Structure 1
Amino acid sequence: MDRKEITAWLRKELFPALKAEGFSQRDGLRLWRHHEDRVDICELRFLTADQAYFIGSTQESLSVDLGGFFRFLPRPPWLEIPEKAGLLRPKTYDAHVRGCLVKHLAQANGPDRSDVWHIGLVGDRSDAVLDDLRETCLADMPGWFDRLGDYEDLLDVLHHGEETEVRDGITSFGHFGAKGSPARTLLIAYIARHLGKTHLAREAFERAIEQEGDGPLAVTLRTDVNSLSK
């Protein structure tokens, strides 16, 4: 199967199922689901020529990236998020928390990359690979995004977790910055504020202000920490 045929298969077999799960906006291989407090992002990507060569796969092979973009976090002035019909359309690299799906299918003929569905390898049936991609999306994506909505769990991960973790061998979850990094501190501050954990939020805001210095978010951070109840 070539990319055109694979894309046609996705439009017929996967995208309607994701739309039924709330991913009502789509642009190419990128889909969005909107909540009051965040935007869920699902992005399917074909390997580039360089990626395919480097790992020994094909340009028809796919990965599935996931992201959560929180509306209640401030955006630096240089970050422009596209909109359509008044709804934000961030890319996965704009997301505050990112991850990827891990396939269920064992592909003994391909390179050892659990996050890539190898398509077009000798001895593998493309339809079976795509079926596994679809089933993995429908089985594992809901739990990944549910974690984004569990702010107590997310706050615990931000305090104690590594930058990227895999739970139960299903998905990677993280890419929110190393412990103590500005990105992680900012997340802790605003999620703690969202939960009404004023003392924790204030401590994180103070660290974030120190880390930001005279950066573009300095005024916003000072305003937001002063808005916390005493």
Structure 2
Amino acid sequence: MDSKMVNKAIKQHIFPLLKGNGFEVFTQRTAWRYGTNKIETVNFQSFNSYLAGSLGCTTFSFAVNLGIYFKDIPNQFGHTNTIKERAGYLCPQEYECHFRKPLLKKLEQIELSRKNVWFIDPEGAYLELALNDVKQELVSAGLAWFERYENMTEVLRTLLEDNEETFGTHGFGRKPSPIRSYQTGYIALSIGNYKLAEKALKEAIDSNCFKIDRLKIDYESINSAL
């Protein structure tokens, strides 16, 4: 068993499902889908020997992570081209996404109790079983999670009301936090809720965490229009 065999199996068992659901751009372990307001990604995370040892799994094991990158939220670091492109498509990594979620396994594995890591043994006996489980969970939970945030009103509600969950939706910061205010402001602005956008962007500015000119320009533009 080696990583090339795992990559080949992912391509064979998982990518056809993703292609059938609108994912267009692929690398060996990542797929991207493009919507009007967002970019969605599915990533198979591999582990180096150190991390695998700390988790109690093999380097052939993997996690599956989902991410949503909202196009209306400017890069918080002020850079315009930090997201890599492939064939003209922006391809944010899962860890660069605003909303993130791990896929959780239903497959019982006595070798590893962690619900967010599929254990693959050195002989590869688990590989097909694991990928079939991933496929089922993508259909039953993963694609539904993407669909939930098709509605930008639900995105805004999540930012205003929900707490981050380690095994649920996360990536947008604690409540309250500067990053949550930043994301809330720009999502509110994108759907025309200018009063909320003004309030949230002011909180982001006052935090002194974001040294980008656009933030102040956008805030002042909203403020002068109200």
With normalisation by structure 2, the TM-score equals 0.89
State the Cα distance separating 1:165 from its structure 2 match: 5.6
Contact 1:18–1:138 (CA under 8 A) maintained in structure 2: no
Contact 1:3–1:60 (CA under 8 A) maintained in structure 2: yes
* 1:74-153 → structure 2 map (5 Å cutoff): 74-75=74-75, 76-78=77-79, 80-107=82-109, 109-120=110-121, 125-153=126-154
1:17 is aligned to 17
For structure 1, the residue ranges without an aligned partner over 5 or more in a row are 167-171
Contact 1:188–1:204 (CA under 8 A) maintained in structure 2: yes
1:169 is aligned to none
- Displacement over 3 Å in runs of 4+: none
The amino acid across from 1:216 in the alignment is K
State the Cα distance separating 1:42 from its structure 2 match: 1.0
Contact 1:57–1:121 (CA under 8 A) maintained in structure 2: no
Deviations 1:111-165 (A, max 9, x none): 221001111179x643222211222123222111112222222222222222226
Contact 2:11–2:28 (CA under 8 A) maintained in structure 1: no
2:200 is aligned to 204
For structure 2, the residue ranges without an aligned partner over 5 or more in a row are none
Contact 1:164–1:175 (CA under 8 A) maintained in structure 2: no
Does residue 48 (structure 1) correspond to residue 48 (structure 2)? The answer is: yes
Deviations 1:37-62 (A, max 9, x none): 11111111122211221121111111
Cα distance in 2 for partners of 1:159, 1:86 equals 34
1:57 is aligned to 57
What is the DSSP-based 3-state SS (H/G/I as helix, E as strand, rest coil) of the residue aligned with 2:31? strand
2:180 is aligned to 184
What is the DSSP-based 3-state SS (H/G/I as helix, E as strand, rest coil) of the residue aligned with 1:113? coil
What is the DSSP-based 3-state SS (H/G/I as helix, E as strand, rest coil) of the residue aligned with 2:45? strand
Q: Which protein, 1 or 2, shows the higher relative CO under an 8 Å CA cutoff with sep ≥ 6?
A: 2
Indicate the percent of aligned positions where both proteins have the same amino acid: 29
1:222 is aligned to 216
Contact 1:110–1:118 (CA under 8 A) maintained in structure 2: yes
